[in-house]
Amino acid sequence: MRIDLFHMERTQCLYENAVEFNLSESGVLPMQVQELLDGARDPGWLHALRLKYPASNGSETLRERIALFYGNAGRDNVQVTNGGSEANYVAFWGLLEKGDRVAVMIPNYLQTWGLARAFAGHADPFRLVERREGGRGSKREFGRAGASGGRPAGASDGGGARWALDVDSLERAVTKKTRVILVTNPNNPTGAVLNEEEMDAIVRAARRVNAWIVADEVYRGAEVCRDGEISRDAGVPGPTSPTFWGRYDKVLITAGLSKAFGLPGLRIGWIVGPAKTVARLCSYHDYLTLTPTYLSDRFAEIVMEPTRREAILARTRGIIRRNLPRLESWIRTHDDIFSYLPPRAGAIATIGYNLPIGSVALFDRLRLERSVLVTPGAHFGIGRYIRIGYGYDVEYLLNGLARIDETLDELKRGRARRGARPRRSPGPRRRRAAAAGRQSRRGLSRVTA
Ligand SMILES: Cc1ncc(COP(=O)(O)O)c(C=O)c1O
């Protein structure tokens, strides 16, 4: 079976340890084992553990506790996997046949785009677009901050705009052949959270053609939550984003401990779905990794105990709320070229820029010339954007951003010079940058085609 190159993960794997400033992480500073064990039984129990095979679908206690995160679910609704990525893999593998189609939210973490194309053969995009609340305008109507004057310069509150579901594109993408609608909510890379109307529109579209909804909710619990914007979730105290669970019969939730819980190294993910479907998916998991790892299963039981779970999510939100204003101060210093809608959740911010360079070329320049790793918009199916992770050490972040300043200043000076002088034919370096830009557009058109 052929499968598309997963550009985002491949480049991150190649370069994250090769740069001085890795700003491509999408989670928060991972927890230490001792923080996790703090207040738990005497850590001596850890030494006595026998590293046997764990229950293949996760221990009963763990599955019960995961179910509690979704209110009206029980342990038979849960399968534990190795990371959220395996949850997505198993869900798509188990649901899709050749000839099916999958409607995929764009921008997105494009694992599911690649899986849809591999297992079904076809993926159809529907979009989140930058839109003023109550309006129907697309991103183009806003232009860039300070460039078209559409959105007020310095509007780090988004100037009343948000990443909203483009319902027309959803309607176009969902056809009789659609077997799965994939949403990532809260969204990666924008940090957008769907509102109730938008969630209803997705359920209606799924019902219309009897499709499954696969909702990747791995960022749920990592809310910025300003001004009580996000409603309380039924049965779950705190400002957690609403889940798709319970809104429609044919829903599979995929999630895990990597993002909102700050525990990517445990590699614990899960699928929550109808018990019969979850049992069927277990038989696919039997051909893959068979079980989660024993130690991670034990640690995850501690994490998902409801009081501890809420304390861990509070830690994540604390980091996000402390760090985001520092990042936003930097963003404001580039109001002349940046457009920015604040994330509702996730330690990730996606920034549009108005400079004559494609996102992959900019990513390469920052990596090679400044030793800074960001994630280019093209890796999420969008154009001139970069995603910056802000969930780690904030001083480290600011030092990395200062390096980015140097490249942005060069690019701005170049733009000003080009505006003043007649165009010269491009030298070899500019030809290479242009080729990289074309490459990135080809990648994008593969996604948008
Ligand atoms: C939306 C989304 N789903 C799944 C994953 C993968 O999660 P995990 O590291 O738990 O496999 C990521 C990682 O960035 C992600 O952004």
Q: How confident is the model at residue 142 (pLDDT cuts 50, 70, 90)?
A: very low
**Model pLDDT, residue 282:** 98
CA distance 14 to 10: 6
Question: Is the separation of the CB atoms in 382 and 107 below 8 Å?
Answer: yes
Q: What pLDDT is stored for residue 229 in this prediction?
A: 54
Residue 408 burial by Cβ neighbours in a 10 Å radius (0-12, 13-18, 19+): buried
For 49-312, CATH gives 3.40.640.10
Distance 402 CA to ligand 1 centre (A): 28
- The answer to whether residue 362 scores a pLDDT higher than 90 is yes
Atom 14 in ligand 1: residue holding the nearest Cα: 26
Return d(Cα 83, Cα 38) in angstroms, integer.
24
pLDDT score of 393 more than 80: yes
Task: Give me the percent of the chain exceeding a pLDDT of 90.
Answer: 79
Ligand 1 binding pocket mutation candidate from 111, 182, 214, 220 (most atoms within 8 A of CB):
111
Confidence bin at 418 (pLDDT 50/70/90): confident
Which protein residues are within 6 Å of ligand 1, measured from CB?
26, 83-85, 109, 184, 188, 216, 218, 256, 258, 264, 269
Give the whole-angstrom CA distance, residue 220 versus residue 239.
10
Separation of CA 387 and ligand 1 centre (Å): 15
**Pocket-testing residue among 218, 271, 289, 296, ligand 1, by greatest number of atoms within 8 A of Cβ:** 218
Residues 419-431: tens digit of each pLDDT: 766 555 555 555 5
**Average pLDDT value over all residues in the chain:** 88
Which comes out higher in pLDDT, residue 47 or 21? 21
- In the chain, where the domains are located: 7-31+317-416, 49-312
Q: Of 183, 236, 174, nearest to 206 (Cα)?
A: 174
Task: Specify the residue with its C-alpha closest to ligand 1, atom 6.
Answer: 85
- Quote the percentage of the chain above a pLDDT of 70: 84
Q: Phi first, then psi: what are they for 50, rounded to 5°? A: -95, 130
How remote is the CA of residue 213 from the centroid of ligand 1, in Å? 17
CA geometry: angle at 111 spanning 124 and 68, to 5°?
105
In ligand 1, the atom with minimum distance to the C-alpha of 26 is: 14
CA 50–ligand 1 middle distance (angstroms): 29
Q: What pTM does this model have?
A: 0.90
pLDDT at 97 over 80: yes
The answer to whether the beta carbons of residues 367 and 15 sit under 8 Å apart is: yes
pLDDT of residue 425: 53
Separation of CA 406 and ligand 1 centre (Å):
31
Contact present, 92 and 180 (Cβ < 8 Å) = yes
Rounded to whole angstroms, the Cα distance separating 56 from 285 reads: 9
In this predicted structure, the answer to whether residue 398 has a pLDDT above a threshold of 90 is: yes
Atom of ligand 1 nearest to the CA of 257: 10
> Quick one: pLDDT at residue 190?
98
Instruction: Determine the distance separating the centroid of ligand 1 and the alpha carbon of 85, expressed in angstroms.
Output: 5
CA 184 to ligand 1: nearest atom: 1
Compute the distance from residue 26 Cα to the ligand 1 centre, in Å: 9
Position 43 scores a pLDDT of 72
Strands 251-256 and 338-340: unpaired
* Dihedral (Cα; 352, 358, 363, 368), 10-degree rounding: -140
Q: Indicate which atom in ligand 1 lies nearest the CA of residue 187.
A: 1
Mutate to test the pocket of ligand 1, among 188, 190, 259, 289 (most ligand atoms within 8 A of CB): 259
Q: Whose CA is nearest to atom 15 of ligand 1?
A: 109
What is the sign, positive or negative, of the torsion defined by CA atoms of 423, 429, 433, 436?
A: positive
The domain 7-31+317-416 having CATH identifier 3.30.70.20: the answer here is no
Atom of ligand 1 nearest to the CA of 264: 9
pLDDT tens column, 199-237: 999 999 999 999 999 999 999 999 997 655 554 454 455
Please tell me the distance between residue 322's alpha carbon and the centre of ligand 1 in angstroms: 23
The residue to mutate among 220, 253, 258, having the most atoms of ligand 1 within 8 angstroms of its beta carbon, is: 258
The pLDDT assigned to 118 comes to: 98
Q: Given the CA of residue 112, which atom of ligand 1 is nearest to it?
A: 3
